[in-house]
Amino acid sequence: MNNPFSFELHHTDAGCAARRGTFHTPHGSVEMPAFMPVATGGSVKGLEIEQIRGTAAQMLLGNAYHLTLRPGEEVVAALGGLHRFSGWDGPILTDSGGFQLFSLAHRTEITEQQVVFRSHIDGRRLEISPERAVNIQEALGADVAMVLDHVVGLPSNPEMVRKAAERTVRWAKRCRDAASRPDQALFGIVQGGLDTQLRVACARKLAKLDFAGYAVGGLSVGEQPAQMYRVLEATVPELPVQKPRYLMGVGRPEDLLEAVRRGIDLFDCVMPTRNGRNAMAFTDEGPLRLRNLKYERDQQPIQQGCQCPACSRSRGYIRHLFMAGEMLGPILLSIHNLTYYQRLLADARAAIQADRFEEFRREKLRGWDNLGDQKLQIAN
């Protein structure tokens, strides 16, 4: 059987490491660099599939930990797999649950053999080994599965970071050996905290295991942006050139462009939808807090020239929806923010192809720095 996965590297920008590529999967091709909306439990919160397609999204991300808790991977498999279950017929990537080792650290017990979770839903015991993480994702049927990795928050004890990185490599090999679906690609994940030597060593060991793609994990967990960029500068050159490179869970627009500049191809983050549900809109002039009184009679669209349904209304109307508690407000702003992210990456692809990515990045950063209601952060 021919490998249904391939990565074409079309062009690298003349001024930096930004790459223009295409990742081919059984459910379609993804033009890179690309951003995946987060569909943790099989849905992008508040949005129907046609609305997601309307944002120009190409690939979605689901989460194996959440889906095995509810409804259970056997249920998803019985209902035709994650594509048929959700109604999304494009490529899907599932995270293994490694991030929950960090986000639910108070509910986990980690041994060399496996992770034991206490469900955040009902407290029941859930055991996930590297082999089990692969089995769950094979039952879900995503195009791309992630190895089980050990994520630690930052800053952390250097010895803890070292042990987590070394365990991640051992678990990655176990995941690779357990994988059996030829129609599912398995990606390795580089760990190592802010220790660039540890990151390089982890990347080199994982490269030898010959995964279909590689992710940089364990960032955007408490470090400063400059620290993240330094880690990427050390790590990304160690990843195979002819494989896609994925930066997990990073989503500020400026971080996307800085990571693309350093050779990253793929992203995911809850930021556009979570912030949208909290009345924050992304624009070329910076983020807008639409609950602010100054938008009450503002007749402008959120972003001039944007073709999304939110931008066919006024800022004043969108503000009204939030102030009145109308559910349409979070839906429209989620659509707008995802559309903004997809347009940002599409424009980045065009800039890379034209060898003008650095100019494009500087233009965007100038716009985001000038205005906006406040320093951008993920809404609570």
Closest by alpha carbon to 133, among 121, 122, 117? 117
Residues 227 and 315 in one domain: no
Q: What is the pLDDT of residue 1?
A: 54
Residues 226 and 326 in one domain: no
Residues 366 and 296 in one domain: yes
Closest by alpha carbon to 7, among 40, 31, 38? 31
Q: How many domains does the chain have?
A: 2
Residues 237 and 280 in one domain: no
Residues 334 and 238 in one domain: no
Q: What is the pLDDT of residue 104?
A: 79
Q: Which of 13, 95, 255, 284 is catalytic?
A: 95
Q: Scan for tokens 């990606």, then name that residue.
A: 187
Q: Which of 13, 265, 268, 284 is catalytic?
A: 268
Is residue 106 a contact partner of residue 119, using CB atoms and an 8 Å limit?
A: no
Residues 43 and 129 in one domain: yes
**In terms of DSSP bridges, do strands 6-12 and 19-25 run parallel, antiparallel, or are they unpaired?**
antiparallel
Report, as ranges of residue numbers, the positions in the chain whose pLDDT lies below 50: 376-380
Residues 98 and 157 in one domain: yes
Residues 104 and 200 in one domain: yes
Residues 223 and 287 in one domain: no
What spatial distance separates the first Cα and last Cα of the chain, rounded to whole Å?
A: 47
Report the run of H or E that residue 12 belongs to, with start and end.
Answer: strand 6-12
Q: What is the pLDDT of residue 44?
A: 98
Residues 310 and 172 in one domain: no
Residue 306 lies in a domain: yes
Residue 235 lies in a domain: yes
- Structure tokens of 255? 């971080």
Q: For the segment 163-189, what is each residue's pLDDT rounded down to a tens digit?
A: 999 999 999 999 999 999 999 999 999
Structural domain that includes position 69? 36-242
Residue 19 lies in a domain: no
Is residue 277 a contact partner of residue 331, using CB atoms and an 8 Å limit?
A: no
Residues 289 and 343 in one domain: yes
Residues 140 and 40 in one domain: yes
Residue 256 lies in a domain: no
Residue 247 lies in a domain: no
Is 95 a known active-site residue?
A: yes
CATH number of the domain within which 216 lies: 3.20.20.105
Query: How far is it, in rounded angstroms, from Cα 45 to Cα 273?
Result: 7
- Structure tokens of 178? 């357990």
Query: How far is it, in rounded angstroms, from Cα 193 to Cα 358?
Result: 28
Residue 296 lies in a domain: yes
Identity of the residue numbered 35: F
Q: Which residues does residue 25 pair with via DSSP β-bridges, in sequence order?
A: 28
Q: What is the pLDDT of residue 378?
A: 44
Is residue 352 a contact partner of residue 18, using CB atoms and an 8 Å limit?
A: yes
Q: What are phi and psi of 300, to 5 degrees?
A: -70, 155
Closest by alpha carbon to 127, among 141, 148, 144? 148
Q: What are phi and psi of 94, to 5 degrees?
A: -115, 130
Query: How far is it, in rounded angstroms, from Cα 103 to Cα 54?
Result: 31
Residue 8 lies in a domain: no
Is residue 134 a contact partner of residue 73, using CB atoms and an 8 Å limit?
A: no
Residue 252 lies in a domain: no
Which DSSP symbol is given to 121?
Answer: T
Last residue of a domain, one of 225, 242, 259: 242
